Structure 1
């Protein structure tokens, strides 16, 4: 499966490089776009959930790295107000 990373800037100007085991993230996020925090979380939950299920379909088990990444995203997001914005900087 093609692995990808996506770079995001949080409301406090810190940045994270995030992992996905699938290119499906491209269907949910776009570089240069800003998303309200709750929308960003909804999109990443769905994208990483689909990505993990694609791994399950191919290998017989879910992708723990995708779920770990989602947990990290949610932990960071908990520091901010729901109306704050997250910017997707790039895919690589």
Structure 2
């Protein structure tokens, strides 16, 4: 499972490098794409849950870094309106 980073820009202009333990994130997010905040959070939740599940299937435990990343995304998202734009700048 290749680790991946995806860089996002929050509605306030701040950029953040996010972690995924698997390339599965590319099934849910695309580089150079803008999402409504609520859609971005759902996609992130699905991607990181699936990635953590892949770790569990291989190693017998879920990925705590993926779960911490999701917690961070969900906490940051509470600062903005659901329709605010979040950009996925790059994945790799």
TM-score of Structure 1 vs Structure 2, range by shorter chain:
over 0.9
Secondary structure of the corresponding residue to residue 2 of structure 1: coil
| RMSD value, Cα | 0.5
Aligned to 2:31: 31
Q: Distance in 2 between matches of 1:91 and 1:45?
A: 16
The aligned counterpart of 1:73 is 73
Equivalence map 1:59-70=2 (5 Å): 59-70=59-70
Q: Which residue of 2 aligns with 1:19?
A: 19
Gap regions ≥5 residues in structure 1 = none
| Number of positions where the alignment pairs a residue of Structure 1 with one of Structure 2 | 92
The runs of 5 or more residues in structure 2 that have no matched partner are none
Report the TM-score, using the length of structure 2 for normalisation: 0.98
Distance 2:82 2:39 in 1: 9
Kindly state the Cα deviation for residue 91 of structure 1 after the two structures are TM-superposed: 1.1
> What does the per-residue CA deviation read over 1:34-60, in whole Å, with 9 as the maximum and x for residues that have no partner?
000000000000000000000000000
Normalising by the residue count of structure 1, what TM-score does the alignment of the two structures yield?
A: 0.98
Looking at structure 2, the residues matched to 59 and 68 of structure 1 have their Cα atoms a distance apart, in angstroms, of 18
